[in-house]
Structure 1
Amino acid sequence: MIDSKARKFLDPLIDKTADFLIGIGLSANQTTWIAFIIGSFAALLVYLELPLIAVTLLWTSGFLDSVDGSIARKNNNASSWGTVLDITFDRIVEILMIISLALIYPSTHFLMMILLSSIIISMTIFLTVGTVSKNEGIKSFYYQAGFAERTEGFIFLTFMTLFPARIIFFIGLFAAAILFTAGQRILEARKILN
């Protein structure tokens, strides 16, 4: 929801960053890799119980994840391979963050399994609908906006990292938000695909 609504406000910063990275010779896929490495390192820092640095790197990774698409569009070389890398690396970073939190808070294991299951369900719907739908937007496939997108996920991961005393509450909210989004997406799919 925030991704879709706030993008227009962040686009000038994203575009300037893309121009800078293009200027120093980075491609969209190289930026995707850098975002992935930074996000993976954030998860390691969660495990090492350095939450403020971890959250800072997580958001840096997320920002660069927006910049890579802008670079591809500016260079007129958006590719299916870039889309695969982008979406795959996004999920790996989220999974690593969740695993790191589960490792340092063992009492959350069952709820983390529910959270990961909700992500799998929502992403399955998202990717399937994106594959079988006609694309008319700037993304490389049909993009189904929903209540919980990547920014909301980062907000929940941030709260889970910085406020461990309330982690069970935030896991529950995160899973509920993702399942609500999955419901939105399946209802929209029924409308557009019938």
Structure 2
Amino acid sequence: MIDDPFRKVLPRFTAPLIRFYRRYGLSPNQITLMALLLAGLASVAVGIGLEIVALILWWSSRLLDGTDGILARETQQSSDFGAFLDIVCDMAAYSVMIFGFASLYPEYEARWMTMLFFYVLCITGALSLGAIEERRALSPGDNRGIRLAAGLAEGGETGIAYSAFLLFPDWIGITTLIWITVLVFTVAARATLAWTLLRPDHHE
């Protein structure tokens, strides 16, 4: 929900970082992989109880993830493979953090498994509905290489949820339930939107 507005304003503040990438000859795909590496390190930090370190690593990872596309567009390096790599690494980053949380809070194993289950449904719905929307020109495009249907639980919301898990450990029982509820709502909302737009008797 907050990803699109954030994506529009991010280029205004990341020019020094983009210059750094270009100065050292870093490619967009390298930035994407570095973002995943930092997310993996954040997961390890979570697992050993270094919550603040994990928080810094996680948001550093998301900063890199938010700027790989900017670099690609500025240097004319946008590619279908880059778009593919970006979404795969994003989902790997979101998922690997769950393993860190599961290690830190094993008593909530069922909730972590539930989150992973709904991540699968969320990304499947986003990709499939987004592809159909693009093919049918049902909604305006954006600057992403692969179109994702909008939803309540996207990358920004995921980062906020993880930050809440890390910053408020005493509330982990409540915040995990809230996040699962958001994921369920996102899946249900996309399914409802898909039925509304794509049912056989629907006419523009």
State whether TM-score is above 0.5: yes
Q: Secondary structure at the match of 1:133?
A: helix
Q: Which moved more, 1:134-143 or 1:30-39?
A: 134-143
Contact kept in structure 1, 2:46 and 2:54, CA below 8 Å: yes
Q: Secondary structure at the match of 1:134?
A: helix
Larger Rg belongs to: 2
Ranges in structure 1 where 5+ consecutive residues have no aligned partner: none
Distance 1:22 1:185, change over 3 A: farther
**Distance in 1 of aligned mates of 2:18 and 2:192:** 35
Distance 1:181 1:140, change over 3 A: same
Cα deviation, residue 56, structure 1: 0.6
**Distance in 1 of aligned mates of 2:33 and 2:147:** 23
Structure 1 position 184 matched with structure 2 position 189:
yes
Ranges in structure 2 where 5+ consecutive residues have no aligned partner: 136-140, 200-204
Distance 1:190 1:77, change over 3 A: farther
Counterpart residue number, 2:202: none
RMSD: 1.7
Which amino acid in the other structure matches residue 41 of structure 1?
Answer: L
Counterpart residue number, 2:134: 134
Out of 138, 157, 160, which is 1:155 matched to? Answer: 160
Q: Secondary structure at the match of 2:8?
A: helix
**Distance in 1 of aligned mates of 2:50 and 2:159:** 17
Cα deviation 1:11-52 (Å, max 9, x = unaligned): 212344223312321110010011111111011111111110
Percent identical among aligned pairs is 30
What TM-score do the two structures reach when normalised by structure 1? 0.91
Contact kept in structure 1, 2:95 and 2:116, CA below 8 Å: yes
- Deviation beyond 6 Å, 4+ runs, structure 1: none
**Distance in 1 of aligned mates of 2:18 and 2:191:** 34
What TM-score do the two structures reach when normalised by structure 2? 0.87
Counterpart residue number, 1:79: 79
Kindly tell me the number of residue pairs found equivalent between the two proteins: 194
**Distance in 2 of aligned mates of 1:22 and 1:185:** 38
Which amino acid in the other structure matches residue 141 of structure 1?
Answer: I
